Structure 1
Amino acid sequence: MIVGLMTVELFIGEANTLKDKRRVLKSIIDRIRSRFNVSIAEVDHQDLWQRATLGVAVVSNETNHVHQMMDTVIRSIESNGGAELIQYSTEIL
């Protein structure tokens, strides 16, 4: 079993309140969950309204598949207009 873990830092420039931030994040998280078979959740910076950290987990039996899924998730987040990707890091277990 191969597990891929990814941490994604986002800047949400249009958010002026936590409610705005939650609206943008809910859209991103729901879209990622519905399109890809991954687990995703906000894991840090819950009290800041223009910054968010998402945790993503992928489980597979092939390392290449894990890499492909994480790359696809990153491309999908980047293509979203509501948030700007600051940085991300990946780890394969």
Structure 2
Amino acid sequence: MLIGAMSVDLFIGEAASLKDKRRYLKSIIERIKSRFNVSIAEVDQQELWQRSTLGVSCVSNERVHVDKMLSSVINFIEAQDSVEIINYNYEIL
């Protein structure tokens, strides 16, 4: 069993308040959950209204599948107009 764990630091330039930030993040998180077989949640920077850190994880028996899933999530987030990826890193355990 392999576990892929990834953190993604985001900049949400269009958010003018914490309420806006939650709206943007909720939309992105729900679309990722429905499209990909991963677990995802906001794990840091909850008090900042234009920054967020998302935690993403997936489990598989093949390393290639874990790499593909996490790369697909990154590509999906990059395609969103409302957020910008500042940094991301992942590891496979």
Q: Same fold (TM over 0.5)?
A: yes
> Structure 1 length normalisation: TM-score?
0.99
Structure-2 residue corresponding to 1:77: 77
> Structure 2 length normalisation: TM-score?
0.99
1:53 and 2:57 aligned: no
Structure-2 residue corresponding to 1:89: 89
- Unaligned runs of 5+ residues in structure 1 are none
CA distance in 2, matches of 1:42, 1:52: 7
- Give the secondary structure class of the aligned counterpart of 2:23: helix
Structure-1 residue corresponding to 2:32: 32
- Give the secondary structure class of the aligned counterpart of 1:37: coil
- Give the secondary structure class of the aligned counterpart of 1:28: helix
CA distance in 2, matches of 1:14, 1:62: 38
Percent identity reads 65
Tell me the alpha carbon deviations over residues 45-84 of structure 1, each in whole angstroms, 9 at most, x when there is no partner: 0000000000000100000000000000000000011100
Q: Which amino acid aligns with 2:83?
A: A
State the Cα distance separating 1:4 from its structure 2 match.
Answer: 0.2
| Large movers: runs of 4+ above 4 Å | none
CA distance in 1, matches of 2:20, 2:75: 23
CA distance in 2, matches of 1:28, 1:91: 22
